[in-house]
C-alpha cells in the first residue's frame, strides 16, 4: 500500500468517527430542546400589555434581575438578546423575547402576548391583526427604483 492511500484511509476513518459523534450529540440536544419547549408551554400565560420599547441589547445592560444573569451560561452573557419593555397592568417590566416573534411586535401599541416567566413566545393584536413591518430594502432594490 502506498503512503497516500494510508493517509487518505486514516482521514476517512477520523471523519466517519466525527460524523457519528456529531449525530449523537445532535440527537441529545434535540431531546433537551423538546423538554425545554414543553416546560415553556406548560408555564405559558396570555397577558395584555402595552409595548413601550424594544431592542437588542446585552443581558447585563437590559436590566434583568441578578438571578437571571447568574443562571445564564458565561458564554451567553455577552451576546445580544431581543428585549422588550412593556407595561403589564400597573408595572413596567423588562421581558426577553423569542427571536421569531421580535420582528412582529409593534412599538407603542397594546398586544396580547403569550408569556412564560420573563420570556415572550407569541404575540397577537388586541384590536385586529398585527401589521407586519415593512422589510428593509436592499441596496439594489433602492437603486432599481
Q: Within a 13 Å sphere around the CA of 19, how many CA atoms are in the beta-carbon half?
A: 6
pLDDT per residue, tens digit, the chain (145 aa), is: 789 999 999 999 999 999 999 999 999 999 999 998 898 888 889 999 999 999 999 888 888 888 888 888 888 888 899 999 999 989 999 999 988 899 889 889 899 999 998 899 989 887 777 766 666 777 787 777 7
- The H or E element spanning position 112 is strand 110-116
pLDDT of residue 133: 61
- Can you give the three-state secondary structure of 50-105, one letter per residue? EEEEEEEEEHHHHCCCHHHHHHCCHHHCCCEEEEEEEEECCEEEEEEECHHHHCCC
pLDDT of residue 17: 97
Topology of the domain comprising 44-125:
OB fold (Dihydrolipoamide Acetyltransferase, E2P) (2.40.50)
| Per-domain boundaries in the chain | 1-42, 44-125
pLDDT of residue 132: 65
pLDDT of residue 134: 66
pTM over 0.75: no
Cβ–Cβ < 8 Å for 40, 102: no
Amino acid at each position: 500500500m502506498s503512503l497516500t492511500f494510508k493517509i487518505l484511509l486514516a482521514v476517512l476513518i477520523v471523519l466517519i468517527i466525527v460524523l457519528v459523534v456529531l449525530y449523537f450529540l445532535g440527537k441529545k440536544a434535540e431531546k433537551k430542546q423538546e423538554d425545554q419547549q414543553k416546560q415553556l408551554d406548560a408555564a405559558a400565560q396570555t397577558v395584555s400589555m402595552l409595548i413601550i420599547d424594544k431592542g437588542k441589547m446585552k443581558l447585563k445592560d437590559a436590566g434583568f434581575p441578578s438571578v437571571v444573569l447568574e443562571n445564564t451560561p458565561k458564554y451567553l452573557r455577552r451576546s445580544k438578546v431581543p428585549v422588550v419593555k412593556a407595561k403589564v397592568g400597573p408595572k413596567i417590566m423588562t421581558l426577553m423575547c423569542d427571536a421569531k416573534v421580535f420582528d412582529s411586535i409593534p412599538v407603542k401599541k397594546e398586544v396580547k402576548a403569550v408569556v412564560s416567566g420573563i420570556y415572550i413566545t407569541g404575540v397577537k393584536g388586541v384590536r385586529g391583526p398585527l401589521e407586519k413591518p415593512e422589510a428593509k430594502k436592499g441596496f439594489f432594490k433602492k437603486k432599481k427604483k
